Amino acid sequence: MPSPIGHALGGALFGGLAAPRGAATTVDRRRWTGPGAAWWRPALLLGLVGTLPDLDFVLGVHSRYTHSLGAAILAGIVGWWLSGRQLSWGLAFAAAYGSHVLFDWLGDDTTPPIGVMALWPFSQGFYQSDLHLFMAISRRYWLPGFWAYNLTAVAWELVLLGPPAAAVWWWRARKTAGR
């Protein structure tokens, strides 16, 4: 399963594809649009949303309810509500959050139960793709090779996700500046 860096890039990438033009909120439109706009703020926010499912580590129930379609829908509702009922922000939050579920499904899971409860609340089954696009991140820091292995996994995530995420936000910044 990807690292927090991979999940943040996924949240920024998929959330950025769904975020409203200019990534403006009803709270303070000037902070998000116009000359010198801080395009990176919504990218950072959506990247953070992409990492949220892993807060379940604190509860000891990793890869369960927070790693599901149901949780992504709830994240979308929260994004919609926080943005002053903007549907596009709800979709952006759901896409950013959902990228985490997708990436964990595509990752190599080595800790039982294998996979994620991706279809909760419709199914309590655990699912994992045979593709294994992402390496399993090790949490066993005491083992030899821990740092080399995890740095290799993060490097792969940066190569795979960095360019498309950067392209989405470069394109969005250009579209916002060219209004």
Give pLDDT, residue 9. 97
The residue among 61 and 37 whose pLDDT is bigger is 61
- CA 97-133-119 angle, 5° bins: 45
Longest dimension (CA), the chain: 53
Pair 123, 150: CB distance under 8 Å: no
Q: pLDDT-derived band of residue 28, with 50, 70 and 90 as boundaries?
A: very low
What average pLDDT does the structure give for the chain?
A: 89
